[in-house]
Amino acid sequence: MRYCTRIPLVMLILAACLVSASCDYGYDYYYACSPCAANVTSYMGTVSGLQPGTSVTLLANTGEQTSLSANGSFSVATLAPPGFPAQLGVLFQPPGQNCVASNSAPDANGVVHVTVTCSAIGAGAIPSLAVVAGMLQEGATDGSGTAASFQGPFGIAVDGAGNVYVADSGNNTVRAITPSGVVSTLAGSAGVIGSADGTGAGASFNAPAGVATDSAGNVYVADTGNETIRKITPSGVVTTLAGSPGLAGTSDGTGSAARFWGPIGIAADAAGNLYVADDYANTIRVITPSSMVTTLAGTGGVWGSVDGTGAAARFNRPRGVAVDGAGNVYVADTGNNTIRKIAPGAIVSTLAGTAGVWGSADGAGAAASFARPLSVANNAAGDVYVADYQNSTIRKITASAVVTTVVGVPGRAVFSAGTLPGSLAYPAAVVVSATSLFLTTNNGVAVVLNLP
> Where are the domains positioned within the chain?
40-120, 128-449
Tell me which of 143 and 82 has the higher pLDDT.
Answer: 143
In the Cβ-directed half-sphere of 265, how many Cα atoms lie within 13 Å? 33
pLDDT of 24: 33
Closest CA to 6 of 28, 35, 36, 38: 28
Q: So what CATH class is 128-449? A: mainly beta
Q: How far is CA 329 from the centre of its chain?
A: 19
Contacts of residue 136, Cβ cutoff 8 Å, sequence gap at least 6: 59, 65, 146, 149, 443, 444
Mean pLDDT on 211-236: 97
Using a cut of 0.85, tell me whether the model's pTM lies above it.
Answer: yes
pLDDT in tens, 411-425: 999 999 999 999 999
> Which amino acid is located at 72 in the chain?
G
β pairing state of 40-48 and 111-120? parallel
Topology of domain 40-120 in CATH is Immunoglobulin-like (2.60.40)
Taking the C-alpha atoms of residue 205 and residue 193, their distance in angstroms, rounded to an integer, is 6
* 261 touches 300 (CB < 8 A): yes
In order, the DSSP letters of 49-107 are: SPPTT--EEEEETTS-EEEE-SSEEEEEEEEE-TT----EEEEEPPTTEEEEEEEPPP-
pLDDT in tens, 244-287: 999 999 999 999 999 999 999 999 999 999 999 999 999 999 99
Question: Which amino acid is it at 205?
Answer: F
- Upstream peptide bond of 421 is cis (omega within 30 degrees of 0): yes
Compute the mean pLDDT over every residue in the chain, rounded to the nearest whole number: 92
